[in-house]
Amino acid sequence: MKKIIVIGCDHNGTQQKYEIIKYLKKKSFTVIDLGNYNEKIKTDYNDVAQQLGNIVNQDLKKNRGILICGTGVGVNIVANKCDGIRSVLAHSKLVASKSREHNDSNVICLGSWVNGVEENIKILSSWLGTKFGEDRHVKRIAKIESQFNKKYKLGFLNGVFDIIHPGHVDLINFASNICDRLVIAINSDISTKKIKGKNRPMNNENDRKNTLMSFAKVDEVLIFNEISPTKIINKIKPNVIIRGDDFNEKQVRQRDKINKNIDIKIFKKKPGYSTTKIISSAKRNK
């Protein structure tokens, strides 16, 4: 995957921008320079920040953005008003790295009056070198997105959903927070036995479907006979698939043959909850 960086500045950031571009090219980034190209020509930070935000939003998996003005404040405010953008005003390496780890920031704003170019390159390097921490942070990012707009039109969950427990409720709430409509596909009684054994499910497919349909946040529940949900995914073509953290994104995509154009969100499950544990506990307490 190409490493694409979009960079822009007002007249106060022009000199630093050119030095930062040199650094980025040495690191093998493809750089898209939106200007300012001449520090003697005054430019409004609003225009370049909005343009950069719109470009980064076109491919949030590939693109990241860098904005520079005198303090970094103006460009940061404008960038955060663009769809899909989580911009950070970073005057230190700690803030830069934590904004990636905790907030999955995709735009960084630097202040040319606050730090010299060498320090800003160190801050940028910290930002570029830090990955999103996922785990508990995924739920928080989803809440940010749901407070302003739903990122995805159609979300998809699948599983047995035999005995509904708090872990399932958290998963459903998380999924519904990032999409307009949520479809859940459940394994039929036949396929559940193949996965879980001859004594499962505890509740038949129709009861399981009706239970899930009682959730206000669930729009549709489908029953499928296959072990893998690949066929049903290809049929309904969701924008995002949500899974628990039994497997990582790469493993889920390969195992279920999920198209690269469909996003996958891995939800950090609440520890201690599982249908198998509930059944085992019930048997012990007989």
Positions annotated as catalytic residues are: 69, 102
| C-beta separation of 3 from 30 below 8 A | yes
Chain CA centroid to CA 159, Å:
21
DSSP state of 123: H
Distance CA 30, CA 128 (A): 14
> Residue 32: beta bridge partners?
6
Where is 153: in which H helix or E strand? Answer: strand 152-159
Q: Are 13 and 49 in contact (CB under 8 A)?
A: no
Could you give the 3-state DSSP secondary structure of residue 67? strand
Alpha-carbon 251 to chain mean position = 17
CA distance 153 to 151: 7
